[in-house]
Amino acid sequence: METTAKKEYTFKDFASNQEVRWCPGCDDYVILRSMQKALPEMGVKKEDVVFISGIGCSSRFPYYMDTYGMHGIHGRAPAIASGVKLANPDLSVWVVTGDGDSMAIGGNHFIHVLRRNIDLNILLFNNEIYGLTKGQFSPTSLVRQKTKSSPYGNTQPPFQPGELAIGAQARFFARIGGNTPKEMTQMFIDAETFNGTSLIEILQNCVIFNDGCFTQYTDKNVREDQQLFVEDGEPMIFGKNKDKGLVLNGLKLEVVTIGENGITEQDILVHNAGEQDPTLHQMLVRLEYPLVTGIIRRFQDVTLEEREDALTKEVMANSKFTKTDDLFFSGETYEVK
Amino acid sequence: MIAEKNKIQPEVLEAVVIRFVGDSGDGMQLTGTQFSDTSAMIGNDVSTFPNYPSEIRAPQGSLYGVSGFQVHIGSVEISTPGDDVDLLVAMNPAGLKTNLYAVKPGHTIIIDTDSFSKKNLEKAKYETNPLEDGSLDNYRVIEVAISSLTKEALKDVEGLDNKTITRSKNMFALGIVYWMYDRSTDHTIDFFNKKFASKPHLIEANTKVLNTGFYFAETLELIPNSYTISPASMPAGTYRIISGNTATAWGFLAAAEKSGIELFLGSYPITPATDILHELVKHKHFGVKAFQAEDEIAGITSAIGASFAGDLAITTTSGPGLALKSEALGLAMMVELPLVVVNVQRGGPSTGLPTKTEQSDLLQAMYGRNGESPVIVMAASTPSDCFKYAYEAAKLALEHMTPVILLTDGYIANGSEPWLIKSVAEMPEIKNNRINEVKENWHPYDRDKETLARDWAVPGTFGLEHRIGGLEKDKITGDVSHVPENHEYMTKIRAEKIKRVENYIPELETEFAKTGDLLVVGWGGTYGSLHSAVKQLNEKGYDKIGYAHFNYINPLPKNTEAILRQFKKIVVCELNNGQFASILKMNFNKYDFLQFNKIQGLPFGNTELTEKFKHLLS
């Protein structure tokens, strides 16, 4: 009998006894529920799951999960999680962060964790605002956006998280609307399956300080026309009538209508998430119409743990030291009688 | 082999201080290390200190590009690299100019006359040539054309370029010094054979230059006598010369092996702590996970993550780095995980004096965090006992589930001395608070009744899933709590946990007088200077002076007051503006603590200490 066989969990097994304290109507509830539903599907043991967060609304997430977890300090979750994973590579380690936590105060850790490609999963709750400190502009707030700290309008141009991440060599980048739990659940499973750092940007509505910031893309009535949900190996087609698609026109992406000007489905670009060259992935990330969601980039690469493990084995095989005494008494020693 | 027949009977000395100085590229560190290793091998006690510029390759011949290495060897106990230089070996004018202050009139200077060119004299800002203007009349100057003699010695060796020939002149100087102090060249020749195993022409060249220097000294009338230093009486056993930074790294290796817990280092390069990182990255064969992080904060936070996941986690830094780590250190304190932070102190504030020593981070270590945030603070006292205190820091962190700050400093980190090698078998047991099975009604903040340390349940352990974090925790469940009384209770129990560590550390001991007129108090890396100054006075008949050295500062040893009250006067000596004195004043306010402070980036000198103590005794 296989003793390590997948245990049958339900979403309830992953809910802690803590009362969830996000504002009513917040997308965070959707994300939490999607995660609790995804975990039983992943085949990981509950005791092997660790959630690490920084500071902010999103960072309360670990308290609501009945797994191991640490609510860290502002911006540092990727570094804490890196230590957890390097100490025990068998764990399934998740980072929960927000746009301020990851790209303002924690910007340095965010780019370096992506560069190193440690097998972590990062959930970036992007609501384009500081929620927990009550409404200041964040690194993803729009120019001219009025907030508590920009009463006449924000003057600082925003980061596009995917552009920054892929620029920092992210091997897995996905984007999803905060109101699409079914797709989100599957995306979490895909992130866990991916060997390397996976980053999921969740467009998360803040009902209090930035309500409706993504409505133009995520509202049920416009979603199909405004969002292109890409799937690996599939043509990039969107629209209620599945008649819009992307083609390359020179060095730019262009939206075309199938059936017009002689365009057929064969002319539409087919999504290749596994392509090493990030050029097209960057263009997809930057596109404003349609907004591209789904797994935009999934390039399989060697992880840091794999490099470290191989190097350690090599050093161990060639070392004359097995115990520290071998080292201490080696080389230039001398006797005093 | 060196011929014995013409040997003059050497004069016997108790101890001698030699300083080798030259350009950064002149190989002074290697020369000094070879001399100290050879001396240690024949049984002398030794203490060394390198002194190099913070520029990596400063312009040749410049005053700020001078690199030096000081060696103090003796047949008696040697506790410091020494103050007054008996022999200065100056490979260029800049070296002479910047180091002459340390040589007392009547003492000896060996000079490479070839380097005293007009150009080099100008670079060293000499208006007249000190070899000609009489300014060195009060010294015994031995002028040797080292560069040209080196070239001459190597003229028949094939395969050498000019650069290699020039670079081996330090071995000529070393040969002279070996003869002067009655040392064999064998150890250094062995070193060449190993180091240049694949480059036989370099073995030949260096050996030839070294021996030529030796023979030159033997036959030269300018060097009238030689000296010898008999072996010191040291405890029997196997020794090696070790620097404080290496000893620190090895202390952690030993602690990891003894405790059976894997070692994780999260670190970011910073002078003068980086050598600990350099040492630990070599030891992957022991399973050491050394992670060079993107910054100081990631250094400590990755270590906190590793500690959460069950490793013996450490982070190494110096003053400015500790400042950057302070928020994360508060987190480690709050989540009550084991962690050792090594701070190799350097001159501050801000960037300060990166390559110079100071003890000015003590109050930062004690209080440099927001909120009520006590941690264990301890300090090593000599290069070799960095091993013991690193081991002890790891043991206390694991057994008490708390961050520990271990303070060393640039002086003991870079200095080296003989270390009676400890086998891991001789080291004390290290327990830990790991919990590996589900217990009924278990909570993450359940505490040991004696130590108050909480359980360490690591991810991967079935049934013990729990959350920790920087928010205040309920005293029983460990859930987030904002209850006023709970916060006060938790604040006090965290303080009490650290206070109780006093039951697990050694009592303070007094050296020399146990009671009397003056108690000299020191802590950390000043041990060698203070111990030898008090010892010297004691030997001269001052029997009312005692010395107490602190290695544990938070908590203080339990018997501290019992020792303070044995003396009429107390003087607290430290390389800062009085930080430890202020801690003592706060804890024992009925005593009058006199202070002796030095803030020059330098260790205490012997004379300034003995004069101060004599004055206080009079």
What are the structural domain ranges in chain B?
Answer: 11-229, 246-426, 510-617
Instruction: Give the whole-angstrom CA distance, residue B157 versus residue B168.
Output: 13
Summarize the confidence of residues B36-64 as an average pLDDT. 86
Instruction: Give the whole-angstrom CA distance, residue B310 versus residue B308.
Output: 5
Domain B11-229, CATH class in plain words: alpha beta
**Structure-block tokens of residue B271:** 């002078």
Summarize the confidence of residues B368-374 as an average pLDDT. 98
Are A167 and A257 members of one domain? no
> Count H helices, E strands: chain B?
20, 23
Instruction: Label residue B8 by pLDDT band (50, 70, 90).
Output: low
Pair B374, B494: CB distance under 8 Å: yes
Residue among B491, B516, B609 at smallest CA distance from B567: B516
Amino acid at B38: T
Q: What is the DSSP letter of B154?
A: T
Confirm or reject contact between A38 and chain B (CB < 8 A). Answer: no
Are A157 and A239 members of one domain? no
Residue A5's pLDDT is what?
A: 43
- H or E element that contains B211: helix B200-219
Strand partners, B264: B289, B313
Confirm or reject contact between A20 and chain B (CB < 8 A). Answer: no
Choose the mutation target among A58, A93, A314, A334 for the interface with B, i.e. most B CBs under 10 Å: A334
Q: In chain B, which residue's Cα lies nearest the Cα of A313? A: B285
Q: Does domain B510-617 have CATH number 3.40.50.12240?
A: no
Peptide bond just before A290 cis, omega within 30 deg: yes
The partner residue sitting opposite A108, judged by closest CB among B294, B302, B305, is B294
Are A115 and A263 members of one domain? no
Pair B79, B9: CB distance under 8 Å: no
Confirm or reject contact between B423 and chain A (CB < 8 A). Answer: yes
**Structure-block tokens of residue B559:** 């018997």
Instruction: Give the whole-angstrom CA distance, residue A102 versus residue A110.
Output: 6
Amino acid at A131: G
Per-residue pLDDT tens over the stretch B508-555: 999 999 999 999 999 999 999 999 999 999 999 999 999 999 999 999
How many residues are recorded in chain A?
337
Residue A48 has a CB neighbour count (10 Å cut-off) of 18
State the virtual CA torsion across B335, B339, B344, B347 in degrees, nearest 10: 0
Confirm or reject contact between A48 and chain B (CB < 8 A). Answer: yes
Give the ranges where B430-516 is alpha helix by DSSP (H): 484-499
Q: Domain count for chain A, please give it.
A: 2
**Structure-block tokens of residue A203:** 């467009």
Is A203 within a domain?
Answer: yes
CB contact under 8 A, A88 and B328: no
**Structure-block tokens of residue B179:** 């003869």
* DSSP letter for each residue of A274-329: T-S--HHHHHHHH--SSEEEEEEEE-----HHHHHHHHHHHHHHH-S-SSHHHHHT
Are A127 and A155 members of one domain? yes
Confirm or reject contact between A33 and chain B (CB < 8 A). Answer: no
Confirm or reject contact between B313 and chain A (CB < 8 A). Answer: yes
Burial category of B6 from C-beta neighbours within 10 Å (exposed 0-12, middle 13-18, buried 19 and up) = exposed
Instruction: Label residue B4 by pLDDT band (50, 70, 90).
Output: very low
The percentage of chain A sitting over the pLDDT mark of 70, rounded to a whole number, equals 98
Are A33 and A175 members of one domain? yes
Are A142 and A244 members of one domain? no
Per-residue pLDDT tens over the stretch B103-113: 999 999 999 99
Confirm or reject contact between B327 and chain A (CB < 8 A). Answer: yes
Confirm or reject contact between A57 and chain B (CB < 8 A). Answer: no
CA distance B537 to chain A (A): 29
Amino acid at B503: N
Query: In a 3-state reduction of DSSP, which class is residue B443?
Result: coil
The partner residue sitting opposite A18, judged by closest CB among B266, B311, B479, is B479
Pair B244, B380: CB distance under 8 Å: yes
Question: Strand locations in chain A, DSSP E?
Answer: 49-53, 68-71, 92-98, 121-126, 172-177, 198-203, 227-230, 237-238, 244-249, 252-257, 291-298, 333-336
Comparing B11-229 with B246-426, is the CATH topology the same? no
Are A62 and A200 members of one domain? yes
CA distance B263 to chain A (A): 9
Per-residue pLDDT tens over the stretch B260-282: 999 999 999 999 999 999 999 99
Residue B158's pLDDT is what?
A: 85
Are A184 and A258 members of one domain? no
Query: In a 3-state reduction of DSSP, which class is residue B498?
Result: helix
CB contact under 8 A, A72 and B234: no
Per-residue pLDDT tens over the stretch A213-239: 999 999 999 999 999 999 999 999 999
Residue B308's pLDDT is what?
A: 98
Residue B51's pLDDT is what?
A: 80
How many alpha carbons fall within 13 Å on the CB side of residue A258?
A: 18
Per-residue pLDDT tens over the stretch A103-131: 999 999 999 999 999 999 999 999 999 99
Q: What is the DSSP letter of B504?
A: G
The percentage of chain B sitting over the pLDDT mark of 70, rounded to a whole number, equals 97
Choose the mutation target among B45, B73, B308 for the interface with A, i.e. most A CBs under 10 Å: B308
Q: Complex ipTM above 0.95?
A: yes
pLDDT at B584 over 50: yes
CB contact under 8 A, B294 and A79: yes
Peptide bond just before B272 cis, omega within 30 deg: yes
* CATH fold for the domain made of B246-426: Rossmann fold (3.40.50)
Beta-carbon pairs below 8 A across chains A and B: 198
The partner residue sitting opposite A88, judged by closest CB among B327, B331, B460, is B460
Q: In chain B, which residue's Cα lies nearest the Cα of A115? A: B294
Contacting residues for B387 by C-beta, under 8 A, at least 6 apart: B242, B247, B248, B250, B251, B254, B419, B422
- H or E element that contains A76: none
Confirm or reject contact between B260 and chain A (CB < 8 A). Answer: no
Instruction: Give the whole-angstrom CA distance, residue B566 versus residue B563.
Output: 6
Kind of pairing, strands B339-345 and B312-317? parallel
Instruction: Label residue B3 by pLDDT band (50, 70, 90).
Output: very low
Confirm or reject contact between B237 and chain A (CB < 8 A). Answer: yes
Is A321 within a domain?
Answer: no
Confirm or reject contact between A46 and chain B (CB < 8 A). Answer: yes
Is A324 within a domain?
Answer: no
Is A169 within a domain?
Answer: yes
CB contact under 8 A, A72 and B291: no
Per-residue pLDDT tens over the stretch B148-185: 999 999 998 888 899 989 999 999 999 999 999 999 99
Confirm or reject contact between B463 and chain A (CB < 8 A). Answer: yes
Q: In what order do the strands lie in the sheet with B403-409?
A: B289-292, B263-267, B312-317, B339-345, B403-409, B376-379, B552-554
**Structure-block tokens of residue B121:** 């004299």
CA distance A62 to chain B (A): 7
**Structure-block tokens of residue B603:** 């260790």
Confirm or reject contact between B469 and chain A (CB < 8 A). Answer: yes
CB contact under 8 A, B291 and A90: no
> Count H helices, E strands: chain A?
11, 12
* Least confidently predicted of A3-7, A81-85, A194-198, B228-232: A3-7
Are A198 and A244 members of one domain? no
Is A164 within a domain?
Answer: yes
Residue among B88, B109, B115, B136 at smallest CA distance from B26: B115
Residues of B in contact with A328 (CB under 8 A): 240, 250, 421-423
Per-residue pLDDT tens over the stretch B121-152: 999 999 999 999 999 999 999 999 999 999 99
Summarize the confidence of residues B239-261 as an average pLDDT. 97
Q: Largest Cα–Cα distance of chain B, in whole Å?
A: 88
Strand partners, A247: A254
**Structure-block tokens of residue B283:** 């030891």
Instruction: Label residue B7 by pLDDT band (50, 70, 90).
Output: low
CB contact under 8 A, A72 and B241: no
How many alpha carbons fall within 13 Å on the CB side of residue A102?
A: 35
**Structure-block tokens of residue B501:** 């560590």
Pair B223, B142: CB distance under 8 Å: yes
Instruction: Label residue B486 by pLDDT band (50, 70, 90).
Output: very high
Residue among B254, B265, B498, B507 at smallest CA distance from B396: B498
Instruction: Label residue A332 by pLDDT band (50, 70, 90).
Output: confident
Is A186 within a domain?
Answer: yes
**Structure-block tokens of residue B430:** 């290290």
Residue B222's pLDDT is what?
A: 63
State the virtual CA torsion across A180, A106, B305, B267 in degrees, nearest 10: 150
**CATH number for the domain harbouring residue A86:** 3.40.50.970
The partner residue sitting opposite A73, judged by closest CB among B262, B307, B327, is B327
Task: Pick the more confident residue, B4 or B568.
Answer: B568
Kind of pairing, strands B237-243 and B140-144? unpaired
Range of the structural domain that residue A122 is part of: 11-232+272-278+289-309
Summarize the confidence of residues B335-359 as an average pLDDT. 96
Instruction: Give the whole-angstrom CA distance, residue B375 versus residue B417.
Output: 30
Is A244 within a domain?
Answer: yes
Kind of pairing, strands B140-144 and B85-90? unpaired
Are A126 and A139 members of one domain? yes
Burial category of A229 from C-beta neighbours within 10 Å (exposed 0-12, middle 13-18, buried 19 and up) = buried
Confirm or reject contact between A336 and chain B (CB < 8 A). Answer: yes
Contacting residues for B199 by C-beta, under 8 A, at least 6 apart: none
Residue B221's pLDDT is what?
A: 67
The partner residue sitting opposite A86, judged by closest CB among B306, B460, B466, is B306
Peptide bond just before B555 cis, omega within 30 deg: yes
The partner residue sitting opposite A87, judged by closest CB among B254, B283, B289, is B289
Summarize the confidence of residues B72-84 as an average pLDDT. 93
Residues of A in contact with B293 (CB under 8 A): 79, 112
Summarize the confidence of residues B452-471 as an average pLDDT. 97
Residues of A in contact with B254 (CB under 8 A): 324
Residue among B338, B304, B297, B302 at smallest CA distance from B321: B297
User: Chain A, 291-320: which have a CB under 8 Å from a chain B CB?
Assistant: 308, 311-312, 315-316, 319
CB contact under 8 A, B240 and A332: yes
Per-residue pLDDT tens over the stretch A245-272: 999 999 999 999 999 999 999 999 999 9
